[in-house]
Amino acid sequence: SSSSSSSPAAAADRLLGGLLSPEFDEASCLSRYEASSRWKPSPFLVSPYLVERLRRYEANHRRCGPGTARYRDAVARLRSGDGDGDAECRYVVWLPIQGLGNRMLSLVSTFLYALLTGRVVLVHEPPEMEGLFCEPFPGTSWLLPPDFPYKGGFSAASNESYVNMLKNGVVRHDDDGGGALPPYVYLHLEQIHLRLQNHTFCEEDHRVLDRFSWMVLRSDSYFAVALFLVPAYRAELDRMFPAKGSVFHHLGRYLFHPGNRAWGIVERFYDGYLAGADERLGIQVRIVPQMAVPFDVMYEQILRCTREHGLLPQVTSTSEPAGGRPPPPPTAKTKVKAVLVVSLKREYYDKLHGAYYTNATASGEAVAVYQPSHDGDQHTEARAHNERALAEIYLLSFSDAVVTTAWSTFGYVAHALAGVRPWQLAPLDWGKMRADVACARPASVEPCLHSPPPLVCRARRDRDPAAHLPFLRHCEDVPAGLKLF
């Protein structure tokens, strides 16, 4: 633990360059100040303005958060149907969808939206997420109180959805602020055929959304990217993130701190298996049941990727060192490379482990292959399963290099937290049953927004934001997707 170090540099690092508030009790959340000592140094500076905005956010959350008179007052007005916009405190309520990676992407996005719009973010924590994350804001809580009335049953079809309100004439996009509003608005940001709905990221719509003091939001997407498409937010975003490709890296490290149970897994595994290695390589293999890449195809692609990019030493065909090479002198320390395989399936680990167990390496390095767990299938509804998933995301993020699977939000979160550009296994060409290029390095450490919003708004034609905005690109693994860099 770095808790006793007193040099200013160590203290700054412990607080991640000022991202973290020093005001927390350490024992209640061990990961908060300890994760930093296992990450590689961040490649991105934290802007002083971001730090200032976070401290301002925290103060406002304390002022308006659960347990305050202002919160009680705001809920009372919500219940009585009084939606008028002059409220002192404004809220965005985050409701979860499936998948931990998706949840973390949409939660960071919701927090960024709250930062930009002066809202307080409240998280509806289902039982399977209880204690998974520590509280991120000092002296208050981000958990939605259990008696909050609107927690479930929302979909694109809900009358409370902003797009349906527009359709039904309940609100108008050019409303000057005179008309009465419903008590809250639901913002549906779940992807539909890899698009978000139109009218969810247009400037005039955001002016209308701004008038609601209560917003309920559901999303499976990294819609933080889409906030950069709203001109009104651009100046603030520029000041907070001089390096655009650092949004998830900073906000993820700020918001997410594994609770003590998940952190216990991380520490035991890291200290027991990984800490002593000279180098750590993470390999994340995500096989989705609907598009199950056959084992042999995927395994071959992983080997091709690691061979082509020198990520793993070659094995010789015998257990003797290569080509009569003399054994290293007894005093030379053997270099140890730890390989962390993270997957729901165990066969990738089995085969890779077997390869390095049976054979010597040409370089003489020792390769130790580990897998922390292999649950078999996704179980978002199970708490212990989610704790293992979170622990494995963090373990991956402590790697020196990572190989990740295309399309996987689980992989995105791990490399973005690490601040490491991954080697991303290319999507399979199903016709050829092979990927032409085994893996590629994305332009930035940022996650991909798989489902961009149309920017048609009230114009006649959609346009491609990647063609107009210098800090946006299409994603390497998801051609229509967008990412910051």
Q: Contact residues for ligand GDP (CB under 6 A)? A: 99-102, 286, 342-344, 373, 375, 378, 380, 385-386, 388-389, 392, 408-410
CB of 97 to ligand GDP, least distance (A): 9
CB of 167 to ligand GDP, least distance (A): 30
Which residues, in sequence order, are bridge partners of residue 340? 282, 370
SS3 state of residue 336: strand
Q: CB-wise, 16 or 265, nearer to ligand GDP?
A: 265
SS3 state of residue 361: strand
Taken in order 287, 291, 295, 297, is the CA torsion positive or negative?
negative
CB of 331 to ligand GDP, least distance (A): 39
CB of 159 to ligand GDP, least distance (A): 29
Q: CB-wise, 21 or 378, nearer to ligand GDP?
A: 378
Q: CB-wise, 64 or 262, nearer to ligand GDP?
A: 262
Distance CA 227, CA 202 (A): 9
Token representation of residue 118: 């002066």
DSSP string, 142-186: -BPPTT-S--S---TT-TTBHHHHHHTTSS-TT--S-S---S-EE
Other CB atoms within 10 Å distance of the CB of residue 397: 24
CB of 482 to ligand GDP, least distance (A): 17
Distance CA 401, CA 355 (A): 20
CB of 100 to ligand GDP, least distance (A): 3
CB of 295 to ligand GDP, least distance (A): 15
Q: CB-wise, 385 or 474, nearer to ligand GDP?
A: 385
CB of 387 to ligand GDP, least distance (A): 9
Element (H, E) at 466: helix 465-468
Report strand pairing: 214-219 vs 185-189: parallel
Q: CB-wise, 286 or 483, nearer to ligand GDP?
A: 286
Distance CA 238, CA 232 (A): 11
Distance CA 204, CA 176 (A): 11
Q: CB-wise, 99 or 452, nearer to ligand GDP?
A: 99
CB of 183 to ligand GDP, least distance (A): 32
Distance CA 381, CA 99 (A): 9
Report strand pairing: 336-343 vs 279-285: parallel
**Residue whose entry in the numeric block shows the structure tokens 């000022």:** 18
Residue nearest to ligand GDP (CB): 99
Buried/exposed code over 118-135 (b: 16+ C-beta within 10 A; e: otherwise): ebbbbbbbbebbeebbbb
Element (H, E) at 473: strand 472-474
Q: CB-wise, 99 or 245, nearer to ligand GDP?
A: 99
Q: CB-wise, 78 or 448, nearer to ligand GDP?
A: 448
Q: CB-wise, 61 or 385, nearer to ligand GDP?
A: 385
Q: CB-wise, 96 or 183, nearer to ligand GDP?
A: 96
Q: What single-letter DSSP state applies at residue 338? A: E
Token representation of residue 478: 């998801």
173, 204 contact by CB (below 8 A): yes
CB of 443 to ligand GDP, least distance (A): 20
CB of 218 to ligand GDP, least distance (A): 14
Q: How far is CA 85 from the centre of its chain?
A: 32
Residue 173, judged by CB atoms within 10 A of its CB (0-12, 13-18, 19+), counts as: middle
CB of 351 to ligand GDP, least distance (A): 16
Element (H, E) at 101: helix 100-117
Q: CB-wise, 119 or 286, nearer to ligand GDP?
A: 286
**Residue whose entry in the numeric block shows the structure tokens 């390769």:** 367
DSSP string, 205-225: HHHHHTT-SEEEEEESS-THH
Q: CB-wise, 240 or 262, nearer to ligand GDP?
A: 262
Element (H, E) at 423: strand 423-425
